[in-house]
Structures are given as structure tokens and as C-alpha cells.
């Protein structure tokens, strides 16, 4: 082999894998992405939607029961006052973080591979935050009075909420996060909705999409402002997403409870949120690719592989945090702190701790292998393990820190009732119902952005 051949071969192996099927034209993008919105859904989509619906109704029934009779329906007791509901809340809020990371942070870093997946990841964020918000609301017990506790409004008693409480910071953080994510998602959707509008044959359809598109025409003068606004929103969302899970972690870290009172929580929670969120994005996209096969040319192995790499990195960060927590518990010399951590790993809930470590730290290491990072079935299984692990992480933090407090006479155990389990399972039904409905009514891939990636790729080709 001559040296030129070696150089050429090396160059070929370094050449970037195309992000979009190179045979696709602009019109193909429009046709492929709008197709699922315009035709009768596939059988597989319908089946998935029905399953999600049934599961959602189980959850709604259990929520109804909780609202009608009170949270005595749950397995909480005097010692363990937070358990399943707060675990689910933190879990779902965390899921949302990957969406904002993909849509905002990767945008600012000019990562072009985000364009195929950002729309669905942002939708996931919004649905995950909606699902999450149910739990603290249910936990208030008398949900119809929630506004009185949660929002500062002028009321007949002239009382204000306590602005020094992390629980209130949480209300502001989560509602701001939801609002800004929704706005960002919608702004991104406007040009694509206009594409759907211009293809609509049916009058009712045309009217609906005209209203949703606000009458966008693709004028260059409008694009000029639009792109600036999009970048500004990305810039605002970036610190926002880091603040949200930090503030969620303050719910614990600001307390004086051993196991919760620790300064490592904000970065540890943010890394964990991105970790679980990326796992959920992969799970959802693998399902979406199956039920809407047109997407396979856009959501390719290269996108999924990149996300696996993020999972591996954040998984290592989470594993490092677990180690640091143990080290600090020992190094602090505080016997209560030390007890909590030994109890966490070797006490009655030790099985949940080791489930967490196995799912979050050990299993994602499989992604070091390139063949596993490109194997869709393996990826599906691993990402589900990651989500199980991340659910258990929150359960471990909350329940094991609470169940054995300073007074051994008040030690107790927490066992969930079927109502709590029903609400948790139902929350997945709600989330998947919303996501599958979204796949049917709105363009699931950011067409305008994908087209500009194709345009950029053509230019790169021309300059070779």
C-alpha cells in the first residue's frame, strides 16, 4: 500500500458520517416529516396510543381517588412524609432537562446533529414538566387551595408566601421553566406549521394550521428577527435549565437532614437530570422511529450514538458524585451523616441503593463499546435501565434519609399502596399519550433547521 493510499484511507475513516440521508432534497424533508401528520396513523402507532391511554386512565383513577379521599390513600407516615410523589416529581422534572440541553445548549455550541432530534426532545421536556407538576399538587392534599400556598397573590388575610422557602423557589423555577420551554418550542414550530398549512387540502385543517402558524410567510425580514430571538431564547434557557434542577435539589440541600444537607447536590442533580433525560430521549425516539418509519432517514445511528456518549459521560459524573457523598460522610466525622450513608447502602433499603448503582454506574459502561452504541436493541434496554436507576436514585435520597431519623423510637419503613403505584404508572401513560399525540398533529422534526443543515452540507461538498 502506498503512503498516499494510507493517507486517503485515513481521511475516509475520519470523514464525518452524514447527519441526514444525503439523497434527501428539501422537498423530501417536507414530504417525509409532514406525512405522519397528514395520513391515517399506522397500526403500530394506534396500538401504542391505546396502551398509553389505558395506562393513563389507571393513573387518572388513582389520582381521582386521592383527591376525593385525601393523601391518607398513600403509604406515607409520620417519619416518611415524602416518598413516591416527590420521587416521581424529581424524576419527571429531571427527564425534561435533556430536551432543553439539546435545544438550547447544543444550539449555542453549534452542534448540527441536534436539528433532527431537538423538536421531539423539546416536546418531551414540556410533557415531562406537565407530568411532574401533578405530583406536588397532589401532595398538597387539598389541591383546590393550592394557589393560596403556592403563588403570592393579594388574599383576604393579607398574608404572603414565604420567599425564604426552597419549596417556593421551586414553584417559581418550575413554572418559569415550563413557560420558557413552551415559548421556545412554539417559536421553533412556527415556520414548520406554516409548511403544514401550505400543504393542507382540507379547509378545516387549513384554518387550524393558519391560526397556529400565526400567518408566517417566511419573509427574510421576519427570519432576521426570528433567528435573533431564537438565539436569545437559547441563551436564556441555558442558565435556566441549570437553575431548575439546582433549585429542585435545594428542596433537600437547604434542610438540615443528614443525607440531604450537602453542597454537592446542585451539580449532582443537574448531571443526573441530563443523564436520565437523554436516556428517555433515546427510548422515545426508538419508539417513534418504529411507529413512524419515515423518520429513520433523519434520526440516524449517528444521532443516537452521540446521545449514548452523553449518557456515558453524565453516568460517570453521577457515579463520581455517589463516591464523593460517601467520602464526605466519612470525612465529615459527623456520626449522623455517617450512619445515614451506611444505612443507605446496607440498611433495609440497601437493595434500592444497589439497584441504583448497578443501573446508573455499571450498566452504562457498556457504551464504551462502539458496537453497543450502534445497536438499537441494546440501546433500548440500557436506556430503560438508566431510567429505572435514576428513579431509584431519587427514591434512595428521599426515603432512606427520612426513614431512620435522630430518634430510634420514630424509625419506620415506607411501603407504597396500590394507589401510589397506580399514579406512578399512570404518569408514564400520560406522558406517552401526550408524546404520541404530538407525533400525529405537529411536525416531529424541525424541517426548517434540517433544510439549513442540508444547505450547509451542499456548500461543504462544493468546497471540497
Residue 148 near another protein by CB under 8 A? no
Specify whether the CB–CB gap between 296 and 304 falls below 8 A.
Answer: no
State which residue, 171 or 388, has the beta carbon closest to another protein. Answer: 171
In angstroms, rounded to a whole number, what is the distance separating the alpha carbons of residues 45 and 43?
Answer: 5
| C-alpha cell at position 375 | 445497536
Q: CB under 8 A: which stretch of 127-135, 270-278, 402-410, 443-451 binds another protein?
A: 443-451
Q: How far is the CB of 98 from another protein (least distance, A)?
A: 19
Closest to another protein by CB, 113 vs 414, is 113
DSSP secondary structure string for all residues of 364-403? GGGGGSHHHHT-HHHHHHHHHHHHHHHHHHHHIIIIIHHH
What CA dihedral angle connects 242, 247, 252 and 258, to 10 degrees? 60
C-alpha cell at 232: 436569545
- What b-and-e string marks burial along 410-436, b requiring 16 or more CB atoms within 10 Å of the CB? eeeebebeebbebbbebbbbbbbbbbb
Contact between 112 and 456 under an 8 Å Cβ cutoff? The reply is yes
What is the per-residue binding string for another protein in 218-257, x denoting contact by CB under 8 A?
xxxxxxxxxxxx--xx--xx-xx--x---x--x-------
> Which stretch in 95-103, 142-150, 164-172, 297-305 sits in contact with another protein by CB under 8 A?
164-172
Cβ-in-10-Å burial (0-12, 13-18, 19+) of 86 comes to buried
The pattern of x and - marking residues 180 through 199 that bind another protein according to CB under 8 A reads x--xx--x--xx--xx-xxx
Q: Which is nearer to another protein, 184 or 431 (CB)?
A: 184
Binding segment for another protein (CB under 8 A), chosen from 106-114, 117-125, 210-218, 328-336, is: 210-218
Of the candidate residues 2, 217, 371, 409, the single one contacting another protein (CB under 8 A): 217
Under rule CB under 8 A, residue 455 binds another protein: yes
Retrieve residue 327's grid coordinates.
467520602
Minimum CB–partner distance for residue 225 and another protein (Å)? 5
Interface with another protein: number of residues (CB under 8 A): 63
d(CA 7, CA 10): 5
Binding site for another protein (CB under 8 A): 25-27, 30, 152, 158-160, 162-164, 166, 168-169, 172-173, 176, 179-180, 183-184, 187, 190-191, 194-195, 197-199, 210-211, 214-229, 232-233, 236-237, 239-240, 243, 247, 250, 447-449, 451-452, 455-456
Amino acid at each position: 500500500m502506498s503512503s498516499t493510499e494510507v493517507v486517503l484511507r485515513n481521511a475516509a475513516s475520519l470523514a464525518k458520517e452524514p447527519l441526514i440521508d444525503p439523497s434527501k432534497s428539501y422537498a423530501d424533508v417536507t414530504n417525509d416529516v409532514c406525512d405522519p401528520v397528514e395520513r391515517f396513523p399506522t397500526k403500530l402507532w394506534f396500538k401504542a396510543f391505546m396502551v398509553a391511554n389505558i395506562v393513563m386512565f389507571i393513573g387518572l383513577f388513582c389520582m381521582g381517588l386521592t383527591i376525593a379521599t385525601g393523601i391518607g390513600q398513600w403509604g406515607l407516615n409520620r417519619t416518611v412524609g415524602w416518598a413516591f410523589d416527590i420521587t416521581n416529581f424529581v424524576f419527571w422534572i429531571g427527564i425534561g432537562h435533556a430536551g432543553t440541553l439539546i435545544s438550547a445548549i447544543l444550539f449555542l455550541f453549534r452542534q448540527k446533529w441536534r436539528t433532527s432530534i431537538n423538536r421531539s426532545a423539546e416536546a418531551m421536556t414540556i410533557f415531562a414538566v406537565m407530568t411532574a407538576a401533578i405530583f406536588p399538587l397532589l401532595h398538597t392534599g387539598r389541591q383546590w387551595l393550592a394557589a393560596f400556598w403556592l403563588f403570592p397573590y393579594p388574599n383576604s388575610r393579607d398574608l404572603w408566601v414565604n420567599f425564604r422557602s426552597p419549596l417556593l423557589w421551586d414553584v417559581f423555577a418550575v413554572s418559569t421553566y415550563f413557560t420558557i420551554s413552551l415559548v421556545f418550542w412554539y417559536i421553533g414550530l412556527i415556520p414548520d406549521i406554516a409548511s403544514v398549512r401550505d400543504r393542507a387540502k382540507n379547509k378545516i385543517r387549513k384554518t387550524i394550521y393558519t391560526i397556529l402558524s400565526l400567518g408566517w410567510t417566511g419573509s427574510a425580514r421576519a427570519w432576521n428577527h426570528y433567528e435573533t430571538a431564537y438565539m436569545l431564547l437559547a441563551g436564556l434557557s441555558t442558565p435556566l435549565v441549570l437553575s431548575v434542577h439546582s433549585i429542585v435539589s435545594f428542596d433537600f440541600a437547604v434542610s438540615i437532614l443528614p443525607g440531604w444537607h450537602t453542597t454537592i447536590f446542585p451539580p449532582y442533580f443537574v448531571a443526573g437530570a441530563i443523564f436520565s433525560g437523554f436516556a428517555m430521549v433515546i427510548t422515545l425516539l426508538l419508539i417513534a422511529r418504529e411507529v413512524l418509519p419515515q423518520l429513520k432517514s433523519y434520526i440516524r445511528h449517528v444521532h443516537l450514538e452521540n446521545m449514548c456518549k452523553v449518557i456515558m459521560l453524565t453516568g460517570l459524573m453521577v457515579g463520581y458524585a455517589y463516591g464523593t457523598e460517601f467520602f464526605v460522610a466519612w470525612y465529615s466525622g459527623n456520626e449522623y451523616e455517617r450512619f445515614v450513608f451506611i444505612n443507605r447502602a446496607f440498611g433495609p433499603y440497601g437493595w434500592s441503593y444497589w439497584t441504583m448503582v448497578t443501573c446508573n454506574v455499571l450498566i452504562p459502561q457498556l457504551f464504551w463499546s462502539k458496537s453497543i452504541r450502534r445497536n438499537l436493541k441494546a440501546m433500548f434496554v440500557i436506556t430503560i435501565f438508566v431510567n429505572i436507576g435514576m428513579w431509584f436514585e431519587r427514591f434512595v435520597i428521599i426515603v432512606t434519609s427520612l426513614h431512620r431519623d435522630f430518634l430510634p423510637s420514630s424509625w419506620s419503613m415506607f411501603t407504597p399502596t396500590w394507589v401510589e403505584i397506580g399514579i406512578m404508572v399512570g404518569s408514564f401513560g400520560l406522558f406517552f399519550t401526550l408524546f404520541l399525540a404530538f407525533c400525529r398533529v405537529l411536525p416531529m422534526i424541525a424541517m426548517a433547521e434540517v433544510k439549513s443543515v442540508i444547505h450547509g452540507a451542499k456548500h461543504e461538498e462544493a468546497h471540497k
